[in-house]
Structure 1
């Protein structure tokens, strides 16, 4: 039996590139990943962000964000004219009816520009990990066009937990899961088909909501006064497996995780997540994807300075100086048994919490704004490539179509 490959990748959203666009910076970053010995590029949701900049409460679960497109006049710009490479699926007509006819050309442009980048990345041996929020905004095209798929008696939230004892009220409508199950989860399968056209693997956010989800009455402002609803469970993943021949997924199983959530994850055989910059216990599951940090957590350096150095000094074992401590930390993380390690770009640069992407539960001008001031360098690529080689994390080469 051949042992599974051990790989690594980098988490960097398109908006965090210096230009924030699908232009030369995006292609240059693919080249950098190759030089750095990486196998994966993970991004955040590619859809239209809300007024606070969050891509996790979009007006569409399908439509690409126009703000990511290449600037006019660059060689990466696509006019969207003609019929070559148009997106497929009923979602496009629904979105055009909802948002207006000019959006047709926008989505054609997004399709062509994104898939051009994806082909380039795949040809270079770099695969893309996308991100699917569980819920959609209440005023989204999806909720307005398919009202039968949502239970408007409740809104979604998060139950009180040790990290958030006050709970959270998110405000998005919860799904009417019996209705979804009755037609074989067809809306969800179309959504996943769209995302798997754009990316090679998907992270599903808030996995616990597919086992049980926290719901609040429409007029209930206090998240503590919510109740548990029943998610679709294993039948949901069976439908995905039947449609796509497998489960090319990573599930976000962070926060308040109860035995039923663990049982569902183990039953479907999909890796969950561990995040170095979130946990006090570093006994990470080897069947998880290990992240140095995420868009919702402290940066690795911020966590290390605040808590890690004092409480888990062994993570920097092998450091020969204070200057080498953080370098040893990253090298030791890459050396773990987990098949896949994802390093956030902020963590490669050793940036503190001023570089956080988001602070959950807050609405401020700093969220969703962080970006690289300049492209990552060849010296940084060579350094990471050396660490990856020592850790035995090989890049597999071009991705088969």
Structure 2
């Protein structure tokens, strides 16, 4: 018997809470308990880095730092670094929607206050703990803290718009900036220290409950990031520091113009010349936070779509060979067994699948893609699954199942007739009449032979397009959905636990005791 499990995809910002967006405080710990009550053994999150323009976790300002927005101010108050009154007046946002920008600005000001209180009042043991953290993580932390302080000092503008000595990282300019912005740099270090401690507490809670954490490692980093600013020689940039070519994917069945992500592409030979250290440290840092990693855009490691930086869409580009096995061999040598899940979606070739199988990486199957006329649709049908697979009803880039079921062709190349055929086939395949398609699709992935089955919380709740997390290739309104506290009730937990038990995915004690029992 293989180790079968199921879990839920929910980013921490989507948790309930009083400060404008979900965080790593009480609601996160309660959600972990609710997952255990629901018989789930995995919690999948999106990238955890600090977000910039557009709020996308896949365009983080750092691939190593944690998002300060996720730091719980209530925990900091309980530790004595904030007063009760300082937690008042948080941006509330709309019901069920986070105002991420306003919440972050409000929280950063409180984090700065907490940093000042810590510096003034921390005892020797706690101060030493922060200094140990700073020394241990300094290889990335010092660059991030200075980058964040300089970005704030320059009105949030990208690093290429800073004065040339700072953009080019001239030593004298950096030394002067560290002195001038010493308080701001310390506040950023403190925020990362708080994030690290709070995430460690949440991870310990999940481990005690038998819940595995699965993180997400984007293949690319944002151009406006600490990494590109600090290591421009590893990326394909022009003399002014701007990308000469950018990342994306070509047109396909789902998008007539493809997706132009805009991330700078790696100079893979430069990465290789330094012993793949950049990628080894990225993976090592992620594994310090999670148990498994969803490796984003796995296809790009075999060959990636190179788009001229001036092209407005992804239609004009070319496939270029990626690092392939050389990178994964280096990671294997440095880190041992690779707990990756390969996001092998898109234009998948035999070479991509050969690379995945060579390193024994589970792939992904998205049930929403199973019923259309795309040539790859049969591979997403549960009767064609292999055990070594993670099966999803949908991901953060899909509409919810309910929204997909009620919707039309969107911006895909499908016709209305093709959509009608797709839905008719879905009803026939799932054996339902259309009244509970989300529930039927959850059953389908849970009942499949795939070792791991995952569904977004929105699908468990049966929510429509209003709860969609992201619409690819769009700006504004994404990443904002939040679950209401009262939605995570015992009735839903009981239904999910029964399904997980029926399909052999629940822990042995599921249904016998509540996670809240001692």
TM-score higher than 0.5:
yes
TM-score by length of 1: 0.92
Q: State the number of aligned residues.
A: 392
Q: Is residue 293 from structure 1 mapped to residue 355 from structure 2 by the alignment?
A: no
1:314 Cα offset (Å): 4.0
Distance 1:103 1:246 in 2: 33
Q: 1:12 to 1:76 in 2, by over 3 A?
A: farther
Give the CA deviation at 1:212: 0.6
Q: What residue in structure 1 maps to residue 88 of structure 2?
A: none
Shift in alpha-carbon separation, 1:329–1:190, aligned structure 2, 3 A:
closer
The 8 Å contact of residues 259 and 472 in structure 2, kept in 1 or not, is answered as no
Q: Does 1:380 align with 2:499?
A: no
2:13 to 15, 32, 45: 15
Deviation at 1:131, TM superposition (A): 0.6
2:47 corresponds to = 45
Q: Which residue of the other structure, out of 287, 290, 310, is the alignment partner of 2:424? A: 310
Q: Does the residue aligned with 1:202 lie in a helix, a strand or coil?
A: strand
Are the structure 2 counterparts of residues 325 and 263 from structure 1 closer, same or farther at C-alpha, using a change threshold of 3 Å?
closer
Aligned pairs for 1:1-400 (under 5 A) are 3-19=1-17, 20-72=22-74, 74-75=77-78, 81=118, 82-84=127-129, 86=133, 88-89=136-137, 90-100=139-149, 101=185, 102-152=187-237, 153-280=244-371, 281=377, 282-284=380-382, 285-286=385-386, 287-306=388-407, 309-317=423-431, 326-364=438-476, 366-375=477-486, 376-395=488-507
Q: Is the Cα–Cα contact under 8 Å of residues 278 and 297 in structure 1 kept in the other structure?
A: no
Q: Distance in 2 between matches of 1:235 and 1:267?
A: 12
CA contact (8 A) 1:70 1:77 kept: no
CA contact (8 A) 1:69 1:77 kept: no
Superposition RMSD on alpha carbons, in Å? 2.1
Length-normalised TM-score, structure 2: 0.72
Change over 3 Å in CA distance of 1:252–1:269 after alignment to 2? same
**1:133-179 deviation line (CA, Å, top 9, x unaligned):** 11111121100100111112311121222222312222211001111
Question: Contact 1:53 / 1:367 at 8 angstroms: preserved in 2?
Answer: yes
Q: Which moved more, 1:90-99 or 1:123-132?
A: 90-99
Q: By percentage of residues, which structure has more strand? A: 1
- For residues 394 and 244 of structure 1, do their structure 2 counterparts lie closer, same or farther at Cα, with a shift above 3 Å needed? farther
- State the 1:247 CA deviation: 1.0
- Structure exhibiting the larger radius of gyration computed from Cα positions: 2
4+ aligned runs moved over 6 Å, structure 1: none
Shift of 1:105: 0.7
**Is the 2:427–2:434 Cα contact (8 Å) retained in structure 1?**
no
